[in-house]
Structure 1
Amino acid sequence: MDRNSPHRQGKAVEIKGVSKVFGTFQALKPVTFDIYENEFFTLLGPSGCGKTTLLRMIAGFEQPTTGEIALRGANIQGLPPHRRRVNTVFQSYALFPHMTLEQNIAFGLENLGWEKQRREARVADMLRLVHMEKFAARKPQQLSGGQRQRIALARALAPEPEVLLLDEPLSALDLKLRQAMRDELRTLQRQTGITFVFVTHDQEEALDMSDHICVLGDGEIQQLGTPAEIYEEPSNRFVADFIGETNFLDAEVMAVEGERATVKVSLGMTLNAPQKKAETGRSAVMSIRPEKISIPAQDGQISMEGTIVGVNYLGGYTYYMVETGKTKLRVSLRNSVSRSGMFEVGQPIEVGFAADSARVLGA
């Protein structure tokens, strides 16, 4: 399924009022949402937010305190992990060190009672799928981290699960390899048509690969939507702060008109911008992403005078810290024409942004 397609297939997983309590600690408050067939779905959030707990409940390694989990419409409550049509890829890969790669992939199929000819054909197919045919006779310790990751994926996909669960599988890899594996994971999901449920705390991974993202924080759902919706239209301050970078400005809500609010912000101006949960007469914050701010200001933008007080060059982008009165703004500009156009510390400039690029977020 194309991540931009408005058409969604049947429900692969249904989470209905599921919560989890360990002793006196509530790891997950009741949550309800659906994961659709043939989509790449991501559970995203900081450590301790409940995302891995939720994944383990889908897998059957933990049981919900309340609620119900259904797989393709069938309640799987109480079913042990081996009787659920789901497989899990762990952060540690969990490969058997004494077995060859072929034997690792075949292990689960043997336990399922697949006959030899069918099993060997499936192992060969999986090795081709992850481009590891030449390494079939090797053992895991003879492989790089990325190669072990591929075999872990091949082993999990071999029994043709209805849902594949991935518990932060890229976190142990270096940056370059992690970026390459993101592309491979997305390609595998498209090729197999299997629903992937991916757990990560890495916002960039989630935005890059997902059809839909469920942002978890403090044990509850903060927002569920497409990557573009999560990034461009955060539902609250937690989401705006956790996903990417943003500038927060104190705001006083003067009036709310439907999906927009008129606010007075700490930059010393009044403007009308899109809003979420803002209330007239109440305090709020306005969020504006660094890349939404221009230097110099463009025609039609809200503009203000400022001074460059910090410069961070990051190759493709340069980040500027701009002081405007008592407020500092972080601005991101793409380096499209060499370094000759860069601004310098102490340089007076004019910055600007469109009101529609800002978001007013209530309590």
Structure 2
Amino acid sequence: METRNKAVEIRQVSKTFGRHQALETVSFDIRDNEFFTLLGPSGCGKTTLLRMIAGFEEPTTGQILLHGQSIQSLPPHRRRVNTVFQNYALFPHMTLEQNIAYGLENLGWEKKRRQDRTAEMLELVHMTAFALRKPAQLSGGQRQRIALARALAPEPEVLLLDEPLSALDLKLRQAMREELRQLQRKTGLTFVFVTHDQEEALDMSDRICVLGDGRIQQIGTPRDIYEDPANRFVANFIGETNFFDVEILSLDDTTARVRTPMGIEMTAGHRNLERGQKEATLSLRPEKIGLDDQAGGEIVTGTVTGVNYLGGFTHYVVRVGEADLRVSRRNAAGRPTTLVEGSKVRLGLQAEAARILGT
């Protein structure tokens, strides 16, 4: 029963290209009906891992299982997975319905079944009215929908998506994120999504695997990853944060008391600290720092040295003691932005909003 709840199992998988270690040994599971994201900067190993699941690359070591069955020896076309590529890879000389039906014909589906499935996929992605058009007559978002329909048509057990939204402009990317998530819910398939865009990952994923330097840095829900990063790499890559070098005064299994460069002591939850350790890093998100009337917790005072208006938010830089803090405040109705460079402000630093990181 446990195996059937796992769509993909990665077991001690690594990948080496010549002398280059693209992916250190990694092990994790991707669950049935899950939107699972591989997130990280360029060169971290995420696309290499996706290509190994697809069968386009072979692991140097380890094993990959699909619903409990090893797929090591299977070529890509015999794996019950399909891939949506960044460049869509549509056939320019074919109509949209021909693009979708082509793979089904190669699989030996009889004509009536192909026609029914093609019509079903066009309806699923809201492209029925465009069935006889060719890819060049479509917008980027419409081509993306057809690429998705074509990949879903053969009824794969897992859909792999290799940065499928990166070629779209910002507004269209945001709209397609919602469409993609709804599509995953409608089909009930396991989606494995590769991106370097943290906002995409946080918005769409059930769980996120953060990769860095060819290693897994953390796996968890979007909230886990953002609110409780495992290390400095994750805290820095996901969202914005303030980092401060701090001196450890005392610690137990879950919390530590530290001396900060803001001239105060704080107690906060910690990650990876060891007994006897003297120094660590304090992470504090800009939007979790209270400003003036919102200040609570440990109160410090400082001077605004920078103001950046960004529509929904205003970002401030505030000098406190020997530290510069980035602070974000939502621009709410009835609360005008009045702070300017040189303004004196009160900041509230709450222990539950901070994390002390050992690495």
CA contact (8 A) 2:24 2:215 kept: yes
Aligned to 2:11: 16
1:3 equivalent in structure 2 = none
Q: Is the 8 A contact 2:261 2:321 kept in 1?
A: no
Partner of 2:26: 31
Displacement after TM superposition at 1:158 (Å): 0.4
TM-score scaled by length of structure 2: 0.97
Indicate yes or no: 2:176 matched with 1:175.
no
> 2:216 is matched with which residue: 195, 201, 221?
221
| Conservation of the 8 A alpha-carbon contact between 2:4 and 2:67 | no
Q: How does 1:29-108 map to 2 (within 5 A)?
A: 29-108=24-103
The number of residue pairs the alignment matches comes to 357
Q: Which residues in structure 2 correspond to 1:54-203 (within 5 Å)? A: 54-203=49-198
Deviations 1:300-350 (A, max 9, x none): 411111111111111111111111122110001111125624311111111
Query: Could you say which residue in structure 2 is the equivalent of 1:4?
Result: none
Find the residue that maps to 2:7 and give its secondary structure.
Answer: strand
Decide whether the 8 Å contact of 1:297 with 1:352 is kept in 2: no
Q: Which of these residues, 322, 346, 349, is aligned with residue 326 of structure 1?
A: 322
Deviates more, 1:13-22 or 1:269-278: 269-278
1:281 is displaced (CA, Å) by 3.5
Per mean C-alpha deviation after superposition, the further-off stretch among 28-37 and 276-285 is 276-285
* Distance in 1 of aligned mates of 2:278 and 2:157: 48
> Does the 8 Å contact 2:125/2:149 carry over to 1?
yes
Pairwise CA distance, 1:256? 1.5
Match of 1:310 in 2: 306
CA apart distance, 1:278: 1.6
In the TM superposition, residue 270 of structure 1 has moved relative to its aligned partner by: 1.3
DSSP-derived class of the 1:14 partner: strand
Single out whichever of 197-206 and 245-254 deviates more from structure 2.
Answer: 245-254
Identity of aligned residues (%): 67
| 1:347 and 2:343 aligned | yes
Residues 93-152 of structure 1: per-residue CA shift (max 9 Å, x gap): 000000000000001100011111111010000000000011000000000000000000
**Counterpart-to-counterpart distance in 2, 1:339 and 1:142:** 47
Structure 2: 5+ residue stretches without partners: none
* Contact 1:253/1:278, CA 8 A, preserved across alignment: no
Aligned to 1:257: 252
Q: Over residues 8-27 of structure 1, what are the superposed CA-to-partner deviations in whole Å (9 max), with x where a residue is unaligned?
A: 97000000000000000000
- TM-score, length basis structure 1: 0.96
Q: Tell me the SS of whatever aligns to 1:340.
A: coil
The Cα RMSD (Å) is 1.4
Structure 1 gap segments, 5+ residues each: 1-6
Runs of 4+ in 1 over 2 A off after TM superposition: 279-282, 297-300, 338-342
Q: Is the 8 A contact 1:8 1:36 kept in 2?
A: no
Contact 1:297–1:303 (CA under 8 A) maintained in structure 2: no
Distance 1:242 1:304 in 2: 27
Q: Which stretch shows the higher mean deviation, 216-225 or 343-352? A: 343-352
Matched, 1:356 2:349: no
The answer to whether residue 194 in structure 2 is matched with residue 207 in structure 1 is: no
Query: What letter matches 1:321 in structure 2?
Result: V
Residues 319-328 or 66-75, more deviating: 319-328
**Distance in 2 (alpha carbons) for counterparts of 1:326 and 1:300:** 21
Distance 1:306 1:264 in 2: 18
Matched-pair contact (CA < 8 Å) for 1:63–1:78: no
Cross-structure match for 1:296: 292
